[in-house]
């Protein structure tokens, strides 16, 4: 089959690899029809993880089931399914509590497994013609009859829509509250969208990129164009100097300042400044335990110079981590089916798999207008 493999920093290519297949009786084999490039892929693409050469990328996958193992009961050949990026077993102590992003079974010795992801187990990614789906009965979200018509909406259930929603859950967003979001990438835009769905009274999205901020405005958020580090003052001005009720971090450890230099603690400390005393902060942007490629000495060891004094003094709360996609994907699917959510609004480019390397290059460069790339291995 054709698949997109990681060769090394900023080097990916579409090559022939052995076909994915059913390996265990609990697996399903899915023919991938849509698979996205994610901001998380960029950490790997840029060589800022320990991703091994030769592995297939892709954790935002949707397709048609073409084969199931003997022990698969619920999922049937022909079902259109969307796969959460995290792979869960369904029976470990964490999966039992809905914490499927921290499954104890699928990546032994660690908590959490995913497709095509550094440090998340041996599973291949779905930027390919076929994907092996472990524990298929548990992991497949079987899509409603309008699956094909709304494929570009449903594929967002694999990661960024639930992840954006998770950011608002971690922050504790309630109806009527004000929310500030750092990052207007796909995840930040989905956090803003989720905050709207929850009935936030004011949603502010901070970024330096005007094309992405324009999308935030399109969904009814206030765009905060952070010029020369003015984002913090702008948020404070819009919140009578108090800061927002809730804040979401949707950038991660490679966040940068207005001059384009990486400053790993920037968004975290800006959140402390722009969330009100007693407010909640949700962090879904990825931070990693070791970052040898960082310029910053602390960041190399996965440490941050966090403004803990102000954080403590303001009595804020913070919650972090991978989204437990399965905790939200069914409800968010219902919103799409009912016509109440249309997350495909952020797609800027639809490319065949063969053009994935170009998609990576331009999305990574954050070229104007390249907000979200979806790949179509089928055609
Ligand atoms: N927790 C999870 O389960 C989960 C799931 C998916 C993605 N993620 C992570 O979420 C993060 C965002 O993903 P994405 O796909 O939107 O990525 P992206 O790289 O496309 O978007 C990040 C955005 O942040 C902006 N930015 C950079 N520095 C900033 C700053 N100082 N202030 C404000 N904005 C700043 C960039 O201009 C860009 O628009 C990544 O770290 C990704 O790995 C986490
Ligand atoms: Zn993703
Ligand atoms: Zn589990």
Cβ–ligand 1 contact at 185 (below 6 Å)? yes
Ligand 1 pocket check for 163: Cβ under 6 Å: yes
**Nearest C-alpha neighbor of 45 from the set 358, 374, 270, 378:** 358
pTM of the predicted protein model: 0.97
Residue 363 CB less than 6 A away from ligand 1: no
Average pLDDT, the chain: 97
Residue range(s) occupied by CATH 3.90.180.10 in the chain: 2-159+324-376
Tell which one of 36, 40, 43 to mutate to probe ligand 1, the residue whose CB is within 8 A of the most ligand atoms.
Answer: 40
**Tens digits of residue pLDDT in 281-334:** 999 999 999 999 888 899 999 999 999 999 999 999 999 999 999 999 999 999
What CATH architecture applies to the domain 163-320?
Answer: 3-Layer(aba) Sandwich (3.40)
| Residue 214: predicted pLDDT | 97
pLDDT at 379: 72
Ligand (nearest to CA of 185): 1
- Which residues are close to ligand 2, an ion, with C-beta < 5 A? 38, 40, 60, 159
Q: What pLDDT is recorded for position 359?
A: 98
Residues of the chain with CATH 3.40.50.720: 163-320
Q: State residue 57's pLDDT score.
A: 98
Provide the token pair at 10.
């900023």
Q: Tens digit of pLDDT for each residue in 14-44?
A: 999 999 999 999 999 999 999 999 999 999 9
CATH 3.90.180.10 matches 2-159+324-376: yes
Q: Whose CA is nearest to atom 12 of ligand 1?
A: 251
């Amino acid at each position: 089959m054709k698949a997109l493999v990681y060769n090394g920093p900023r080097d990916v290519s579409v090559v022939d690899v052995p076909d994915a297949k059913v390996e265990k009786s609990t697996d399903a084999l899915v023919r991938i029809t849509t698979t996205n490039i994610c901001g998380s892929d960029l950490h790997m693409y840029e060589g800022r993880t320990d991703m091994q050469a030769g592995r297939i990328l892709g954790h935002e996958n949707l397709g048609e089931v073409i084969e199931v193992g003997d022990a698969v009961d619920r999922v049937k050949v022909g079902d259109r399914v969307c796969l959460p990026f995290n792979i869960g077993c369904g029976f470990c102590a964490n999966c039992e509590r809905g914490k499927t992003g921290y499954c104890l079974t699928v990546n032994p010795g660690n908590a959490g497994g995913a497709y095509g992801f550094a440090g998340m187990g041996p599973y291949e990614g779905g930027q390919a013609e076929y994907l092996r789906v472990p524990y298929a009965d548990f992991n497949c979200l079987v899509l409603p009859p309008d699956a094909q018509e709304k494929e570009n909406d449903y594929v967002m259930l694999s990661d960024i829509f639930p992840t954006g929603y998770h950011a608002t859950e971690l922050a504790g967003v309630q109806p009527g509250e004000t929310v500030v979001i750092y990052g207007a990438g796909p995840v930040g835009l989905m956090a803003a969208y989720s905050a709207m769905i929850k009935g936030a009274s004011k949603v502010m999205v901070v970024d330096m990129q005007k094309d992405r901020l324009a999308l935030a405005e399109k969904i009814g958020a206030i765009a905060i164009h952070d010029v020369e580090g003015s984002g913090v003052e702008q948020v404070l001005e819009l919140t009578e100097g108090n800061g927002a009720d809730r804040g979401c971090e949707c950038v991660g450890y490679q966040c940068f300042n207005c001059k384009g230099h990486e400053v790993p603690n920037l968004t975290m400390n800006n959140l402390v400044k722009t969330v009100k005393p007693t407010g909640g902060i949700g962090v879904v942007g990825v931070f990693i335990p070791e970052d040898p490629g960082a310029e910053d000495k602390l960041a190399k060891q996965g440490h941050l110079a966090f403004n803990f004094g102000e954080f403590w003094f303001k009595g804020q709360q913070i919650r972090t981590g991978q989204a437990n996609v399965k905790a939200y994907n069914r409800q968010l699917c219902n919103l799409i089916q009912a016509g109440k959510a249309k997350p495909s609004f952020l797609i800027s480019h639809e490319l065949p798999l063969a053009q994935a390397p170009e998609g990576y290059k331009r999305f990574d460069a954050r070229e104007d207008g390249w907000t979200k790339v979806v790949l179509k291995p089928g055609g």
